[in-house]
Amino acid sequence: MMTPLYKYGFFGEEFSLLVAFVLGLGFGFFLERAGFGSARKLAAQFYLYDMSVFKVMFTAIVTGMLGVTYLGWIGWLDLDLVYLVPTFLGPQIVGGLVLGVGFVVGGYCPGTSVAALATGRIDALVYALGIFTGTFAYAEVYPSIKDLVNANPMGQVTLPEVFGLPWGLVVFAVVVIAVVGFWGATKIELWAGSRP
């Protein structure tokens, strides 16, 4: 059997929503288990004395990357069918900065705020209201910033395509970057923790 299951029509739209619900529960559970239901823990990332966010995210990247690489290699997953979020380089850099500022100010990112809200945190409730307000405001101003939002479209691209490198080499490089990053992150935590 080949995956992605939905693209191959093994189940329909309704069932895919159910699958998404189960995956979402798992996602929320592990965010909470990682301590990401707490704004303190998340904000600590930006003050460098707790690099958990960096480590968890990079672990997820490496695990997912190795997973799809090997599944694709043995022929269980058709990587050409996997949906990729299209790249808009400039707008996404700006969007990333906006998200980062919101992250350190509010103490959550959108996903963790929902997990924190589920555990009854009031700051997460305020954050979630902010998300809705922001979404609404964005939709209202969208027509006037449309060209900006859709600037330099690159389509569904991957790093091997952009840099013209073999797939395996990029996988290897990302793993090395992650391991060196983990080592460096631990050093930074020790350094930041020892500051007065």
Partner 1 sequence: MNLRQFTLNRKLAMLAVALGTLALLAQPHRGPFVKLDARELASVVEEEVDHVTASELATWIVEGRADYRLLDLRTAEGYAAYHIPTAENVPLTGLADYPLLRNEKLVLYSEGGIHSAQAWMLLRAQGYEAVYMVLGGLDAWKDEVLFPSLPADADAAARAQFERATQVAKFFGGEARVAGGAAPPTVGAELPKLAAPPPMPAPATPIAKKKKKEGC
DSSP state letter for 187: H
User: Closer CB to partner 1, residue 48 or residue 65?
Assistant: 65
- Could you tell me if 56 and 122 are in contact, meaning their C-beta atoms sit under 8 angstroms apart? no
Binding-site member from 156, 184, 190, 193 for partner 1 (CB under 8 A): 156
Contact pattern for partner 1 over residues 65 through 94, marking x by CB under 8 A = -x-xxxxxx---xxxxxxx-xx--------
- Could you tell me if 171 and 79 are in contact, meaning their C-beta atoms sit under 8 angstroms apart? no
Provide CB contacts within 8 A for 193, sequence distance 6+. Answer: 49
User: Closer CB to partner 1, residue 111 or residue 195?
Assistant: 111
Taking the complex as a whole, the smallest distance from the CB of residue 168 to partner 1 amounts, in Å, to 4
Q: Does 146 bind partner 1 (CB under 8 A)?
A: no
Q: Does 188 bind partner 1 (CB under 8 A)?
A: no
Helical (H) or strand (E) element with 154:
strand 153-155
Q: Given the rule CB under 8 A, which residues bind partner 1?
A: 2, 7-9, 13, 57, 62, 66, 68-73, 77-83, 85-86, 109-112, 150, 153, 155-156, 166-169, 171-172, 174-176, 178-179, 182
